[in-house]
Amino acid sequence: MQYQATVTIEQKQGMLDPEGTTVKRALEHLGYATESVKTAKLFEILLEAESAGAAEQKVDEMCQKLIANPIVDNYTIEIEEK
Amino acid sequence: MKIAIIQFGGTNCDLDVLHVLKEVMGLDAETVWYKQEDLSGFDGVVVPGGFSYGDYLRAGAIAARTPIMDSVKKLAAEGKPVMGICNGFQVLTEAGMLKGALTTNAYPKFRCHWASLRVETTDTPFTSKFGKREVIRLPIAHMEGNFYAEEETLAELDENERVVFRYVDENGKVTDDANPNGSIENIAGIVNEGRNVLGLMPHPERASETILGSDTGRKMFESMADYITENF
């Protein structure tokens, strides 16, 4: 089966997000008040796996080994059958 | 004695380091393209600065996972010295050879200027030629130099004198103004548990000839060379 995994990488709570802060400030210049703006990275990964669970396990491994840095990042994985 | 200078796609301080080691200091050094996986015959490694793999994913993340890094780890496990400069520091943290992570500067700007640093320990193969708490000046040039580590890691680094350099003012005081990138506890360089793997954001190779303004950085390479001569 083919699955699409959507991986979202967010910085852990308390980490500085200079890009988010800069965008927040620019929004203020445009007249939009916001509580906070955070940036995140999104990866769409297409892969073959026997089941949704197996796909998630594979992608979780990928996150731990490369895609996320566990010191500074949190990540979530969503699996969708293609 | 032979020192390897690792080159990845996007490395750009390799030839500066080679110039200092070979031409200025008269040491035997060679650049090694990352596809060469064999580092036998080398007694030390420098992972130089630059923008390996365009800083894709995270600075240093891709380079850290190339096969040559397994050879660098093997060499480090033998006690041989490994120095990661700037992007090289990022590569070593991403490879898990050093604790912590280097994130975007608190003010997200590329900072390129001289910085004052305090030598926190002379008990490393890279700082034996300095005085303890000596204040030195080295150039910095980076946008992802904001060192971060969890409290537990910081305590471990402090306890074993593994913080090697901190950003300080001219009088050697740790201040927020002297911190160019928001690094936690003004940390500019650390060593691993075995003390033979160093990562630092400043560029000693850019301060190794008086004609270029300073030769302070050369002492780091001299310390490293002495250590190799004495131990290998």
Of B86, B94, B120, B142, which one is the catalytic site residue?
A: B86
Q: Residue B159: name the closest of B120, B199, B101 by CA.
A: B120
Residue matched to tokens 């690792």: B6
Give the pLDDT score at A33. 97
User: B 51-90 residues with CB below 8 A of A?
Assistant: 57-58, 61, 65
* Total number of domains constituting chain A: 1
Domain CATH number, residue A43: 3.30.1280.10
Q: Is the pLDDT of residue A16 over 90?
A: no
Pair type for strands B82-85 and B101-103: unpaired
User: B 138-167 residues with CB below 8 A of A?
Assistant: 146, 148-150
Q: Is B13 noted as a catalytic residue in this protein?
A: no
The dihedrals phi and psi of B166, each to the nearest 5 degrees, come to -125, 150
pLDDT digit string, tens, across residues A46-75: 999 999 999 999 999 999 999 999 999 999
**Partners of residue B182 in chain A, C-beta under 8 Å:** 16
Mind telling me how many Å the CA of A43 is from chain B's nearest CA? 11
Q: Quickly count: other Cβ atoms within 10 Å of residue B110's Cβ.
A: 10
pLDDT digit string, tens, across residues B155-185: 999 999 999 999 999 999 999 999 999 999 9
Residue A26, chain B, CB below 8 Å: the answer is: no
Q: What is the ipTM of this complex?
A: 0.86
Domain around A42? 2-81
Give the pLDDT score at B108. 86
Identify the structural domains of chain B with CATH numbers, from first to last: 2-231 (3.40.50.880)
pLDDT digit string, tens, across residues B198-209: 999 999 999 999
- Written as one string, the DSSP assignment of B135-169 is EEEEEEEESS-EEE--HHHHHHHHHTT-EEEEE--
